Amino acid sequence: MTLSGKHILLGISGGIAAYKASDLTRRLRDAGAEVRVVMTEGATHFITPLTLQALSGHPVRVSLWDEEHEAAMGHIELARWADAILIAPASADLMARLAAGMANDLLTTLCLACEAPMFLAPAMNRVMWAHPATRANAATLQERGATLLGPGAGSQACGETGEGRMLEPLDLVEHLHKHFSIGPLAGKKVVITAGPTREAIDPVRYISNRSSGRMGYALAEAARNAGAEVVLVSGPTALPAPAGVQRIDVESALAMREAVMQALPCDLFIGTAAVADYRAAVIAPGKIKKASDTLAIELVKNPDILAEVAARPDRPFTVGFAAETDHLLDHARDKLVRKHLDMIAANRVGEGLAFDQPDNALTVLWRDGIKELPQADKRVLARQLIELIADRVHDHA
């Protein structure tokens, strides 16, 4: 069972079952997850933040008004970071506040600001759980997409016996594992290119571009979260490889092409790399000296990796990117048809747009459809794009 590299935001609310959160934190980490803990003020009366800080390996957050923590990883960043929110225990009060859409402490604010799936492990006295108010809140939260894990039945801390016990930590980890392993891309192999390429001119110089690789890395992470086996063929970037993703580092377009062909066949190919269109016809064996006032370097065209993948007889579902400064839709549609793609994600580039930026906006086109994904953090966009792709990849012969 693995949650390798998954970012789990563990919310702990005030209830006696909060003591089980320490074991839960350990179990989540044993399964490979990265855990960040947020507690309600009530929870701190049952278990100390220090215990959970030691077990999670990260500072625990309680208050929305903590300047030091907000300066390190702000609550919105934390909301974006999460691949899933698990609230264990979820008290009657917390569920009521979530159902009402309140944001009167850090945990409820995070839940409102987070687009990742939410799992609630209710724990309370059996009469509180059976109360129509609690049942109505649970139903509301489920209608909005939250998953309720438990509660189980048995003896309760209050001395009564009945329904309202929090599920055991291992059961909760198992539920999360199932969620990630039956994702929409489970069992699929995905190959993604990312970052810029570097085309050598001589041993110390190269031609390259401003691509940061962020979009491709975010897609690799989102595809992994959707259950796929992911190979990321990456040009030089400063980004860490998402855990559980196989990264192959390359420099030039020719090396990227070679690595991609080695990684095939696959079910889905996404070309996000800003592959240099041209390379030097000849790479000077020694450093070029500034002997003359002008210098001409002859360039030759690089192979189009995306088009080559799409032209194969065993072609995967093929998705390209189009970065354009003008006539966005016309150019993107032209690329979709010309390169025989199944889908293309187009974005506007230019001063302060897209390249090297954490945010982006995409217009996604396929043969008989179009969808706008408005300006958002690239990780959020990646999740949305993977959902769009997953809806179609299964129909691909």
Residue of the chain from 109, 302, 347, 360 that contacts ligand CTP (CB under 6 A): 302
Q: How far is the CB of 140 from ligand CTP (least distance, A)?
A: 42
The answer to whether 199 contacts ligand CTP (rule: CB under 6 A) is no
Q: How far is the CB of 260 from ligand CTP (least distance, A)?
A: 8
Q: In what order do the strands lie in the sheet with 118-122?
A: 34-39, 7-12, 84-90, 118-122, 147-148
Binding mask 321-360 for ligand CTP (x = CB under 6 A): xxx-----------x-------------------------
Number of H helices, E strands in the chain: 14, 19
Residue of the chain from 34, 83, 229, 304 that contacts ligand CTP (CB under 6 A): 304
The answer to whether 231 contacts ligand CTP (rule: CB under 6 A) is no
The answer to whether 233 contacts ligand CTP (rule: CB under 6 A) is no
Helices 214-225 and 378-393 sit at what angle, rounded to 10 degrees? Answer: 50
Which range touches ligand CTP (CB under 6 A), out of 67-75, 163-171, 298-306, 381-389? 298-306
Which range touches ligand CTP (CB under 6 A), out of 67-75, 171-179, 265-273, 289-297? 265-273
Return the amino acid letter for 184.
P
Which range touches ligand CTP (CB under 6 A), out of 128-136, 149-157, 273-281, 378-386? 273-281
Return the amino acid letter for 45.
H
Q: How far is the CB of 253 from ligand CTP (least distance, A)?
A: 6
In the structure encoding, which two tokens stand for residue 134, read together? 């609690």
Applying the rule CB under 6 A, the residues between 14 and 73 that interact with ligand CTP are none
Which DSSP letter does residue 289 get?
P
Which DSSP letter does residue 47 get?
S
Which range touches ligand CTP (CB under 6 A), out of 261-269, 301-309, 375-383, 385-393? 301-309
Applying the rule CB under 6 A, the residues between 159 and 178 that interact with ligand CTP are none
Element (H, E) at 128: helix 126-130
Q: Which is nearer to ligand CTP, 18 or 306 (CB)?
A: 306
Residue of the chain from 275, 354, 385, 390 that contacts ligand CTP (CB under 6 A): 275
**Catalytic residue check, 266:** no
Q: How far is the CB of 189 from ligand CTP (least distance, A)?
A: 18
* 159: CB partners within 8 A, 6+ apart: none
Query: What SS3 class is residue 159?
Result: coil
Burial of 65 (0-12, 13-18, 19+ CB in 10 A): exposed
Q: Which is nearer to ligand CTP, 56 or 318 (CB)?
A: 318
Residue 235: closest CA among 264, 277, 276, 194: 194
Q: How far is the CB of 228 from ligand CTP (least distance, A)?
A: 18
The answer to whether 151 contacts ligand CTP (rule: CB under 6 A) is no
* 87: CB partners within 8 A, 6+ apart: 10, 11, 12, 13, 94, 107, 111, 118, 119, 120, 121
111, 114, 158, 266: the catalytic one is 158
Phi–psi pair at 264, nearest 5 degrees = -75, 160
Applying the rule CB under 6 A, the residues between 372 and 391 that interact with ligand CTP are none
The answer to whether 271 contacts ligand CTP (rule: CB under 6 A) is yes
How is 73-92 classified by DSSP, letter by letter?
A: S-HHHHHHH-SEEEEEEE-H
How many of the other CB atoms lie within 10 Å of CB of 121?
A: 28
Query: Which sequence positions are flagged as catalytic?
Result: 158
Task: Kindly list the residues in this chain that would bind ligand CTP in the complex (CB under 6 A).
Answer: 193, 253, 271-273, 275, 277, 302, 304-306, 320-323, 335
